[in-house]
Structure 1
Amino acid sequence: MAKHKKHTNLEKRNNDNFAPNEIAILGANCGVISDLVHKVSKKFSNYKLAYFDASHAKDVEQISLSEYFFHHEGNLQITTSENVNKFQQRLDFAKFDFVFINGNHYQGTKQILILDEAKEASVLKRLDQLDNIQFVVKLKSETEYFDFLEEKYPQIKNLNCYTIDAVDAISNHINSLIQEKIASVKGLVLIGGKSTRMGTDKSELNYFGKSQKKYVKILLENQNLETFYSVKNQSDKSFEIADEFYNLGPFGGICSAFQKDPNSAWFVLATDVPFVNEEVIQLLLKHRNPSKVATAIKGKNKDFPEPLITIYEPKAYAILLQYLAQGYSCPRKMLINSDVEIVEIDDSFIRNINTPEEFEVAKSEISSTSLRGRMTK
C-alpha cells in the first residue's frame, strides 16, 4: 500500500540555511569578521552580496511599527520587530548571489574558520557547527591548529589556509564558491498560445521546412540546452511541461517551468518570432548575467524588453510569484520593474508574426533572402 503523502511533492529551490548560497565566518570577534566581509565584497562589484549579522545593541526598544527609510540614492534602512525565520530569510535573500553570515550568531551551511588563539574556547563551543569548512584563515601566520580541531577533523590541514591579509586569495576562493552555484540554462519553447489572429496554431507554421516549434527547439538544443515545450494540457512526454498555472498565458508557462525545475535558468523563446536565429541565441547567452533577475532582448527602437526572448534566472521565480500575488500576470511588467541585463538588437530580428498576411510576407522574405542587420549590446 502506497504511503499517504500529506503535502504535494514539489521540487524545491536548492537553498542553504538562509539563502541560495551562503557562508558563515566564525572563530574571531565580530569586528574582524565584518572587516573581512567588507574588504572581500569590494572585489565583487559584479555580484549581489549580503551580510547577515545580529545586532549588538544591549538595550532594544520593543517596537510596534516597522519603519522603512528609502534614500533617493537607493539605500534602504529597515527597523522591524520580525524575528529570524529561515523561510522568510530565503525570500529576502533569494535575489543575492552570495550571503556572508556572522557565524558567531547564526549557523551557515558552509563555513570559513578563522584561527585566533584568543577565541579557542569560542571555536570549541561551536565545534558542531563546523561541518563543512571550505578553508581556514589565520589571524597570525604562526597560529597552530587547535588540538580538538585536528581530533575531530583529521583532514583539516589539507584545506586551503590563508592569512587574514591575503584578501585577494580569499576573494578568489569565494569567487569559486559563487561560480559553483551559477545555474545551468535550459530551454523553454512556448507553444500553448491561442493564435487567435493567425487562425491556426502559430507553432505549427512552416518557415524553414519543418514546424516552427521543432525549428525553435533545434535552435536551443544546438547551444547544448536541454529544451522543453511549454504546453497547455497535461502530457506524459518527457520533453513537455504542462501548464500548472491556468489561464495566465506565457506567464503561467514560465512559472510552470520553474515549478518543474527551480534550480535552472530558463531561456524562454516564443514561436512567433521566426527571424530569431542562431546568432541571436548566441548573443543572448554570451551576455547572460546570472546576477540579474534576467537577461532580455530589446529592440533598439523599442521601449521595453521582449519577455519571450529572455533568459530568466532562478531568482526570477519568487519575483514572478510576488507579482502574481498582486494580481499581475505580465512577464514584461516584472522585467521592466526589476534589475535586468538588456541586450539591444536590430528590431528586424524580433518581429512578431501574428496574422496570415504577416506570415506570407515573412515566409517570402525568409525564402528569398537572408536577414541582414547589426546586433549590438
Structure 2
Amino acid sequence: MADHQKHAKLKRPALGQFARREWAVIGTPCGEIQRLADGLIARLHERWKVAYVDADHAKADSSATALPGKIGQGAQLVYTDRIHYHQLEWQGETGPFQFRPLFNATDAAIVNGNHFTARQQIVVIDPRKAESLSRKLDRLTDVQLILYASGGEEIPDFLRSAIPKLSDLPAFRLEEVDAIADWLERQLLTSLPPVRGLVLAGGRSVRMGQDKGLLDYHGAPQREHLYGLMAALGVPPSLSCRADQLATLPKKLAALPDTFLELGPYGA
C-alpha cells in the first residue's frame, strides 16, 4: 500500500543565508568588492531590488569598545526613520532565520565573501588575496562565475583542485562591470517562476440567484472578461468550472473541471 500523501509535492524555494538569489564575492580585498557592488547595484537597481551584505571591520578593529547610541545604553533593537531611508540596529543572534524576513522583498543579494558565506559564489583571481582564499575553500560550495583582477592571470593550482568544473565557468575581468551586471541579470531572469492565472467560475451563486460569472459589465461575461485581462498581460489563463458548465464555454477558453465539489461559500 502506497504511503498516504496529504499535500501535493510543491517545489520549495531554494533559500540562501540572506536572499533567494545571492552571490558571495570572494578572493579580492574588501575595497574591490565594495566598488564592484556599487557598480552592479547602479546598473541593476532600476529593474531589480538588490541588497548588499558586508562587515565594518574597521570599527571592529578600533580600540573603542563602547557601543554607540541606544544600543550602547542596552537597547535590544533600534529603528530610525532617516526620512530618505530606514536604519535598523539590533543586538543578539543573527543567522538565516533573522535575515531572510528582512531580505525577502529583494531579488538578489551581493555578499562580501571575505566575511560571510552565501549559497552561490563569484571567485576573483587576485594574487593579493590568494593565500587567504586558499584557507577558505570550504566556502566554495557552488561557484558560478570567475573574475580576473589586475595581475591575476593564472588560476592557482589549489583552486583548480577545489573546483573541478572551473574551466567551464564563465569569466570576466573584474573591471568589466557592465558584462558582469548582464550576467547577473540573466541569472535572475532564468530563475523567475512562471506566473499563471486561474478564473474560478464554478460557483453556483445560489444566494444571488444568477451566475455571477455570466454578469456583463464590459461587453462580455465576467468570467471571459477576466480571462481576457490575464491573456492581455501575458499571463497564461485557465478557467475552473463545474463539469456541467464545460459545454457552455467558448472553445477558445482553456477549461479545467473542478475537483473539489459542493463546498459552497467556504470553498473560496
Partner of 2:53: 52
Partner of 1:166: 176
Measured at CA, do residues 144 and 225 of structure 1 come closer, stay the same or move farther in structure 2, by a change above 3 Å?
Answer: same
Report the CA distance between 1:103 and its aligned residue.
1.4
Checking the alignment, whether the CA contact within 8 Å between 1:25 and 1:33 is kept in structure 2 is: yes
Partner of 1:272: none
Out of 118, 122, 126, the residue aligned to residue 128 of structure 2 is 118
Report the CA distance between 1:241 and its aligned residue.
9.0
- 1:259-270 matches, within 5 Å, as none
1:24 paired with 2:35, answer no
Partner of 1:79: 89
- Deviation track 1:9-36 (CA, whole Å, cap 9, x = no partner) reads 7653343332121111111222221221
| Mean Cα deviation higher: 47-56 or 8-17 | 8-17
Per the normalisation by structure 2, the TM-score is 0.72
Measured at CA, do residues 121 and 183 of structure 1 come closer, stay the same or move farther in structure 2, by a change above 3 Å?
Answer: same
Checking the alignment, whether the CA contact within 8 Å between 1:24 and 1:106 is kept in structure 2 is: yes
Per the normalisation by structure 1, the TM-score is 0.53
| Mean Cα deviation higher: 12-21 or 46-55 | 12-21
User: Partners of 2:11 and 2:163 in 1: how far apart?
Assistant: 33
Out of 68, 74, 77, the residue aligned to residue 66 of structure 1 is 77
Q: Which structure has the larger Rg?
A: 2
- 1:276-355 matches, within 5 Å, as none
User: Partners of 1:28 and 1:217 in 2: how far apart?
Assistant: 52
| Mean Cα deviation higher: 42-51 or 62-71 | 62-71
Partner of 1:93: 103
Checking the alignment, whether the CA contact within 8 Å between 1:229 and 1:241 is kept in structure 2 is: no
Unaligned runs of 5+ in 1: 232-236, 254-377
Report the CA distance between 1:205 and its aligned residue.
4.4
What SS does the corresponding residue of 2:114 show, helix, strand or coil? coil
Partner of 1:107: 117
Out of 139, 146, 150, the residue aligned to residue 140 of structure 1 is 150
Measured at CA, do residues 2 and 54 of structure 1 come closer, stay the same or move farther in structure 2, by a change above 3 Å?
Answer: farther
User: Partners of 1:43 and 1:123 in 2: how far apart?
Assistant: 28
How many residue pairs align between the two structures?
241
Report the CA distance between 1:67 and its aligned residue.
0.9
Report the CA distance between 1:101 and its aligned residue.
1.1
Report the CA distance between 1:195 and its aligned residue.
5.9
Report the CA distance between 1:210 and its aligned residue.
9.1
Checking the alignment, whether the CA contact within 8 Å between 1:17 and 1:109 is kept in structure 2 is: yes
Unaligned runs of 5+ in 2: 242-254
Checking the alignment, whether the CA contact within 8 Å between 1:228 and 1:240 is kept in structure 2 is: no
Checking the alignment, whether the CA contact within 8 Å between 1:230 and 1:241 is kept in structure 2 is: no
Measured at CA, do residues 83 and 29 of structure 1 come closer, stay the same or move farther in structure 2, by a change above 3 Å?
Answer: farther
User: Partners of 2:256 and 2:159 in 1: how far apart?
Assistant: 48
Report the CA distance between 1:179 and its aligned residue.
1.6
User: Partners of 1:239 and 1:19 in 2: how far apart?
Assistant: 38
- Using the aligned pairs only, state the percent identity: 29
Measured at CA, do residues 40 and 198 of structure 1 come closer, stay the same or move farther in structure 2, by a change above 3 Å?
Answer: same
- 1:166-185 matches, within 5 Å, as 166-185=176-195
Report the CA distance between 1:212 and its aligned residue.
4.4
CA RMSD of aligned residues (A): 3.9
What SS does the corresponding residue of 2:43 show, helix, strand or coil? coil
Checking the alignment, whether the CA contact within 8 Å between 1:69 and 1:76 is kept in structure 2 is: yes
Report the CA distance between 1:114 and its aligned residue.
0.9
